[in-house]
């Protein structure tokens, strides 16, 4: 399983806009054939900090996500709302095990 933790720091005035835009991306992403999870997490200490937990069956499916219309629209929509560049942290998902 290919997992990416995407760390996002949003400008305070755009927190709700970011959540709304990410919800649209989430709703389409979970319909992708290789998607296993697509979660949006918000820090309890700092409401402007988020983590996107993206799990795909493998790296090729994660790469396909980056070419979807919904991802590209999200990327362009939220770009100016970032307080700092988002940072993707790739992980290898060990459990639960994914059938091959």
| Token pair listed for 92 | 């290898």
Average pLDDT over residues 6-24: 98
User: What domains does the chain contain, in order, with CATH numbers?
Assistant: 2-92 (3.30.70.100)
Q: Write down the pLDDT at residue 97.
A: 85
pLDDT at residue number 40: 98
DSSP one-letter code for 26: H
Residue 37 tokens read as 């999870």
Predicted local confidence at residue 96, as pLDDT: 87
Q: How far apart are CA 29 and CA 38, in angstroms?
A: 7
Write the DSSP symbol of residue 47: T
pLDDT tens readout for residues 37-70: 999 999 999 999 999 999 999 999 999 999 999 9
Beta strand pairing call for 49-56 and 82-92: unpaired
What's the predicted TM-score (pTM) here?
Answer: 0.93
């Amino acid at each position: 399983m290919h997992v990416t933790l995407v760390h996002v720091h949003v400008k305070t005035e755009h927190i709700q806009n970011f959540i709304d835009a990410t919800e649209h991306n989430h709703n389409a992403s979970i319909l992708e054939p290789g998607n296993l999870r697509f979660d949006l997490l918000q820090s309890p200490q700092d409401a402007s900090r988020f983590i996107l937990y993206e799990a795909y069956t493998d790296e090729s499916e994660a790469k396909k996500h980056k070419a979807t219309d919904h991802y590209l629209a999200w990327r362009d929509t939220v770009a100016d709302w970032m307080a700092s560049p988002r940072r993707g942290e790739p992980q290898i998902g060990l459990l639960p095990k994914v059938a091959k």
